Amino acid sequence: MIEVKQPKRIPFIGMLQGMLTVFKHGLQKPVTVQYPEEKENLPDRFKYRIFLSMDDCVGCTLCEQVCPNLTISMQTVERENPRNKRKLYPDVNFGTCTVCRNCEEICPTDAIYLTHVFETARTRNSFTYNPEELEKHEEEVKR
Amino acid sequence: MNILNRIQGILSPLGHDLSFAGAYLIETIIALVFAVTVVAGMVYFFRKYMARVQNRIGPNRVGKFGVLQVMADGLKLMQKESIFPDGRDDLPYKIAPIIVFLGLILAFIIVPYSNLYWFGSLTVTHSNVGIILIFAILAIMPIGEIFAGISSNNKYAMLGALRAVAKDISFEVPMMLSILAIIMIASVNTSQPLNLQNIVSVQNIPFGILEPIGLFIFFISMIARASYSPFDMGESDSELVTGDTTEYGGLRFGLFYMGLFGTIFLGSMLVSVLYLGGGSGPYESSLGFIWFLIKTVVLVVISLTVWLSMPRVRIDKFVNFGWKILLPLSFINLVITGIIVLGGIA
Amino acid sequence: MNTAKPLNKYVELNMGPQHPSTHGVLRLKLLLDGETVKRVEPVIGYLHRNAEKICELDYYCDSLLYFDRMDYVNSLSMEAGYLEAAEKLLGIEPPERAKWIRTVMAELSRIASHLVWAGAYGLDLGMLTPFFYVFDLREQLLNIFTEASGSRLLTNYMSIGGVYQDFNDKIVYMIKDFIKTFPKKLEEVFNLFVKNDIFISRTKGIGILEKDIAISYGVTGPMLRASGVEYDVRKAEPYLMYDKVNFDIPVSYTKDCLGRFLVRYEEMRQSVKIVKQAIDKIPDGPYFNPKAKKSLMIRLRGEGEAYGRTESSKGEFGVYIVGDGTVKPYRVRVRSPTFKNLSVLRELGKDVMIADLVAISGSIDLVFGEVDR
């Protein structure tokens, strides 16, 4: 246990020191990143947009079960895949996705995974990605 | 030679009476344009300066370096719908922002601007009682704030107005006493010590050096007059939303906003006129206005640094400060000034 | 004698829920006599999101992310608090390495929380600038969190049986770099506060909270320690690895807002001390208990009840979970420190000025995600 004490200060001089500190910061370089023109380097593990490898998906619905807020729902897609007999693939509504990464964690075949892509803003009203769109790059989906 | 004569000289083909009338009109318009430009420049400078000391960039999207940001904001405020609160006191509610802005503009006309090259003296008003005029006008501006607070039928605004009254009373007495000291010390060398130009011209030694206590009191009073942090109890945004201007929007809010920033500049101008020698400096015959501006801008930077680094004083503590510290200090200042005047040091 | 309606001389004022200084959605019903507050009544519930009930509808692993959203400036401590109870209930012991990692992250999170508080407190008192300096400092922490977990604010980093991802060299380097430069920068920012006469006059002797009142209201955390009680769950009932590191509990006997400020400042320095020790002590080994890995994470069944208590940045954070043998909890109950600390505002806000009330409610460190849940 230590007792905290009010630090010593000289009346009025302390305020001038504070003003000087504030003024000195004005001479430093601003830390703002001007987003659309310059982009900060994203950390290696930064994750946002869910991708799906449809060839790997076995339609086990584990991602649907673990998803905490009904972001993922399974959808039937007519597609030849011997490992996915039920033809069930995840369909993701990014409007409710909280990026909890549980789907990536639980996927037994690593078919569903999160990537660096985060610029998913669009004019389209719905944020739902069907399984085919989940496989594509963001630019293709937007088009 | 002053700017009035220069303009009259250009207009002289119109005849004596007409040319003088036209010259007065043009001179006043120039002063008004100067006032509005200064206010817009102050807003831009404040936003940039605040951003830089906070490690940000500030406005940089509208125009080069964001210089048109103020104009864009002004246009936005003009386009906004005027929303009137229910149960307001209509006339005071509507004239309050006008009183504040009008007071500011009037004060800008009285300040002695000193000389600039060919134009000669830029001062508009050559009154023998300029210092009384300017403080009369400074006393008008709080009336606008009080009108705004009381008429808008809002509890926050009411509290803000009450705070503004308490604040104004407690700092204006020491302020006037420090002005009295200025007049005393100026009367040594001039027979018209109420004339602002005379006050500037007799400052061979700036009065701020002769009476630093007076400078301190007056600077604090000017901060309190413009009511920004640490003395912004009237519109303290974290306690009373925005205090007396809570119910204002659109252009009426814009007038209050311009009044705030204009008063910061006005206060800095007054400090530099009364205490730092206004337009005097090396090469004073031709460059007085430039010296005046430099002194003012330095004071503005100091004021803004104070604004950005200080928390708000509680209203009762400020009233205590005004009556128990500033008032005795200003009396001490008067006594010291008396000694200086009688001892012939000035 | 005219004593018919004594309340009429007072003004009733609603402060909030939309008000610049109520930190989100606190509503204060004030009874004013001029500038003096005669009575203050906090009204809460404007950010109620039913988190406790939602936890009953989700798997144990999913409930974690509702805890992120309770105290959203301090999400990693919240996760540690939930896992303290959940792992007790489920009988899953995280490996040593995961515990050390959690200790480091919880302490960094505590620093992040106190930084936000200091900046917001400055804004409450009218200081505009320090807010940006503390967010500049916090940005480094958020980068560390992103590097570790992939998200900045709502990290969901810890998970049942360990942590989501292992520490790598880069994160360790970033943390070491942070704790090397942080104390000096922190001191610079805090000198803006504690060396300023106006700040001292606004906080010293304001909002005196007596020891017995604090204890009777269940106040914990820096609020309690500023009232002179040496109580910290990290010392009283060590969890994670707090018994293996060396640190002190800051206590202030001044009982006022300034004391709370200084206690939080010292706590940050102690957190740096803890991180400095812990980062070197992280052992090699697994970062995850394989019993809760992959598809097993939704098959965890808990029976009985468990209570876990931890020290979040606001105070003692308790989680009580009842399991009925299924994959979902039967009941989750949260003892949120801010809720308890807020209830004492009624005592503190008597016969103070409006400006003081703002200073006092700011010193409680309110985060409404946690009060309303």
Range from A12-21, A105-114, B162-171, C6-15 carrying the lowest mean pLDDT:
C6-15
For chain C, the average pLDDT equals: 86
Res B197: pLDDT: 81
Place of tokens 């009580």: C320
Residues in chain C, how many? 373
The per-residue pLDDT for range C230-288, each reduced to its tens digit, is: 888 888 888 888 888 888 888 988 888 888 899 999 989 889 989 888 888 888 888 88
pLDDT over 90, % of chain B = 2
Q: Higher confidence at residue A113 or residue A123?
A: A113
Contacts of C35 in chain B (CB under 8 A): 159, 162-163, 315-316
Question: Is the minimum CB–CB distance between A25 and chain B shorter than 8 Å?
Answer: yes
Contact A2 C249 (CB under 8 A): yes
Residues 287-326 of B with CB under 8 A from A: 302, 305-306, 308-310
Residues 206-225 of B with CB under 8 A from C: none
Counting the structural domains of chain B, the total is 1
Residue B340 binned pLDDT confidence (cut-offs 50, 70, 90): confident
In Å, how far is A125's CA from the nearest CA of chain C?
25
Question: Is the minimum CB–CB distance between A41 and chain B shorter than 8 Å?
Answer: no
Res C86: pLDDT: 87
Residue A125 binned pLDDT confidence (cut-offs 50, 70, 90): low
Are B248 and B92 in contact by the 8 Å Cβ rule? The answer is no
Question: Is the minimum CB–CB distance between C351 and chain B shorter than 8 Å?
Answer: no
Residues in contact with C275: Cβ distance below 8 Å, sequence separation at least 6, in sequence order: C104, C107, C108, C175, C179
Please state, as a whole number, how many other Cβ atoms lie within 10 Å of the Cβ of residue C54.
Answer: 16
Q: What architecture is domain A50-142?
A: 2-Layer Sandwich (3.30)
Range from B235-239, B291-295, C131-135, C156-160 carrying the lowest mean pLDDT:
B235-239
Domain range list for chain A: 50-142
Per residue in B100-134, is it b (16+ CB within 10 Å) or e — as a string?
bbbbbbbbbbbbbbbbbeebebbbbbebeebbebb
The per-residue pLDDT for range B176-185, each reduced to its tens digit, is: 888 888 888 8
The 3-state DSSP class for residue B284 equals: helix
The dihedral sign for the CA sequence B194, B195, B199, B201: negative
Q: What is the pLDDT averaged over residues A52-70?
A: 84
pLDDT over 90, % of chain C = 2
Domain C6-372 has CATH 1.20.1740.10: no
CA C218 – CA C232 distance, rounded (Å): 13
Task: Look up residue A124 and give its two tokens.
Answer: 């389209």
CA C44 – CA B38 distance, rounded (Å): 46
C11 phi and psi, to 5 degrees?
A: -110, 130
Contact B55 A22 (CB under 8 A): no
Res C1: pLDDT: 47
Strands, DSSP E only, in chain A? 2-3, 50-52, 72-76, 88-93, 112-114, 128-129
pLDDT at residue C206 is higher than 60? yes
Res C8: pLDDT: 66
Residues 264-283 of C with CB under 8 A from A: 265-266
Are B210 and B345 in contact by the 8 Å Cβ rule? The answer is yes
Contact A6 C159 (CB under 8 A): no
Q: Provide the Cα torsion C251, C257, C262, C265; round to 10°.
A: 110
- Residue B173 lies in domain: 82-343
Residue C356 binned pLDDT confidence (cut-offs 50, 70, 90): confident
The 3-state DSSP class for residue A116 equals: coil
Contact A4 C263 (CB under 8 A): yes
Are B279 and B289 in contact by the 8 Å Cβ rule? The answer is yes
Contact A26 B306 (CB under 8 A): no
State how far Cα B189 lies from the chain centre: 27
Contact B53 A15 (CB under 8 A): no
Chains that touch C (3 or more CB pairs under 8 A): A, B
Question: Is the minimum CB–CB distance between C21 and chain B shorter than 8 Å?
Answer: yes
> In this structure, is residue B262 part of a structural domain?
yes
The per-residue pLDDT for range B46-86, each reduced to its tens digit, is: 998 989 888 888 888 888 888 888 888 888 988 888 888 88
Residues in contact with C272: Cβ distance below 8 Å, sequence separation at least 6, in sequence order: C111, C179, C182, C183
pLDDT at residue A45 is higher than 50? yes
ipTM of the modeled complex: 0.85
> In this structure, is residue B193 part of a structural domain?
yes
> What is the maximum span of chain C, computed from C-alpha positions, in angstroms?
81
Residue in chain B closest to C126 (alpha carbons) equals: B311
**pTM score, whole prediction:** 0.88
> In this structure, is residue B40 part of a structural domain?
no
Are C343 and C364 in contact by the 8 Å Cβ rule? The answer is no
Angle, CA of C145, C146 and C148, to the nearest 5°: 65
CA B197 – CA C369 distance, rounded (Å): 62
The per-residue pLDDT for range B78-130, each reduced to its tens digit, is: 888 888 888 888 888 888 888 888 888 888 888 888 777 777 777 777 788 88
End-to-end Cα separation, chain A, in angstroms: 62
Residue in chain A closest to C297 (alpha carbons) equals: A106
Angle, CA of C16, C17 and C21, to the nearest 5°: 55
Domain range list for chain C: 6-372
